A and B are shown apart, each in its own frame.
Chain A
């Protein structure tokens, strides 16, 4: 399989804290790639550094041959790298549908003039955008809440809405930061099915997840971080038996 994302020696520090030290790995096209590690290991910082919310100190990041290093978040999204947030970040006073329509910002073009004149192109674009967003809401299973405000959705539905918003940009790579946090077993199952079906359509996923069973069951390969350093990379099978991983973090839980 071809490589999609190449991360090379990415480092990031906050004052004295080295949140990431020379982290390198590659994500291949069409796989679900896990990022695991104990709390504070630097997983979220890694996502933030990759998607432009933090400026990495050094390193190289390439998506499909295009450098993302120190690009702006909106530029990175446009090259095809979308993400969700660990601490849900929705547009709370907008409806679910509007949230997803915002996610299509880079896939639409209407500016001020088109909006004022209501050009045929503008009207069609708005209609198509709403229809596309509606489809995505149905896909993640919250179509019936399309016209509810984002802040009034349940926790699990908010997580799903974030996924729909990210998908609206039609990314090549979707990075999910603890998407199952706070979900009940039913919701988790639906989430797993969604991820698998997205992968079968050719989407590549990165997944930060604490639920070991979920992450080991679904990921094709994964990378393990500890204190901002990569301590292992490979299939769930290899990672599971890596002595460094067992010692550093997972212990009996994984070996079992």
Chain B
């Protein structure tokens, strides 16, 4: 066996181990931390997709979008309306999911187009406004014609179901009893793998370079032959596609959507995942999404801890969560401004600075 073959088999071996680990993860989590954590795991996967989508817009193309959650909402409502008793529709998931993603992409272009001339703070403020507009629409499109059912939201949304096999209830698979969140975990894992694959391919492509060029210097990019309008719209559309996909999965998983789930705080959280993890680096963004989803959940236990130590709860865990989260972000900005896992460019640069 030559060196290359040995290396290749090593890569395959670690990929295989990673896969087995990911397949077993929900069992371990359920055994070690309890059922509710499998759900949290599912949400972490949804947020990974969202964060990777926003990473295309903010991390690669450098367009600070504070209304990203709008695309999550579009995907979620698309699913909710086409697979629930609200309109009496129940389209199969392989139809709705692409439709939701495509509709989100269309919204990406529609909301992106008016912002093309804006940058930095101005872009952030306008996109923030767009995000809120979408949410307010969802809130108010219940009269005169009831489309979204307003603030009450849409309930009894159909779960993903494939050949009559529903992910919405506990199922027996190969003699194992798997809960609904456990089943969804595997679906989400496949979708995350797809989104990671797409991100990686785009990052190292002509289009990916054009995005980064625009982030670095828009005028020089234009003078180098890049049609900045089209390439920016493409970034908005690609990012929105991931958001729409994630939104559809969210609606089916949750069984319920309401405008409340798509507020500004969500957009800011998704942005925080990118900043914390490492803007522009896929693995950093994934790490950021996992941490930002999981840490607040873990901090819930501080309530029990306080009760055990002091006999009563002094600080509401919900407040503590935000406080510690804020401190963590500030510390990050001081000590690791490029994120936990900086992008390859940043790493290369650090390597070069060393003698």
Contacts and interface: CB of A to CB of B under 8 A. Distances in A.
A165 B209 CA distance: 13
Given A53-B223, A74-B227, A74-B228, A115 B202 contact: yes
Contacts of B226: 74, 102, 105
A93 B207 contact: no
B348 A74 contact: no
Contacts, number: 109
Nearest to A102: B213
A101 to B, nearest CB: 6
Interface in B120-161: none
A106 B226 CA distance: 7
Contacts of B319: none
B225 A169 contact: yes
Nearest to A152: B352
Interface in B192-247: 198, 201-202, 205-210, 212-213, 216-217, 219-228, 234, 238
Contact of A149 (B209, B225, B348): B348
Contacts of B209: 94, 98, 101-102, 105
Interface in A147-175: 147-149, 151-152, 165-166, 169
A94 B222 CA distance: 16
Contacts of A148: 352
Interface residues of B, number: 30
Nearest to A101: B209
B5 interface: no
Interface of A: 51-53, 72-74, 77-78, 82-83, 85, 89-95, 98, 101-103, 105-106, 108, 110-112, 115-116, 118, 122, 125-126, 129, 147-149, 151-152, 165-166, 169
Interface of B: 198, 201-202, 205-210, 212-213, 216-217, 219-228, 234, 238, 345-346, 348-349, 352
24 contacts: A53-B222, A72-B222, A74-B226, A78-B225, A89-B220, A89-B223, A90-B216, A91-B216, A91-B220, A91-B221, A93-B345, A93-B349, A95-B348, A102-B224, A110-B205, A110-B207, A112-B202, A112-B238, A122-B205, A148-B352, A149-B349, A152-B349, A165-B224, A169-B224
